[in-house]
Chains A and B, each alone.
Chain A
Amino acid sequence: MAASIAPECNEIKEKYDTCFLKWYSEKYLRGNTTSNDCEALFDKYRSCLTKVLKERGIDSMLEDARKTNGSETDAEFLKKS
Chain B
Amino acid sequence: MAGLEDLYREIILDHYRNPRNRGELETPPAHMAEGFNPLCGDEVQVFLHVDDDTICDVSISGQGCSISQSSASMMTTAVLGKTVDEARQVIRAFKAMMSIHGDDLDGSDHDPSNETVGSGVSLGDLEALRGVVKFPVRIKCATLAWNTLDQGLSEAAG
A is bound by B: no
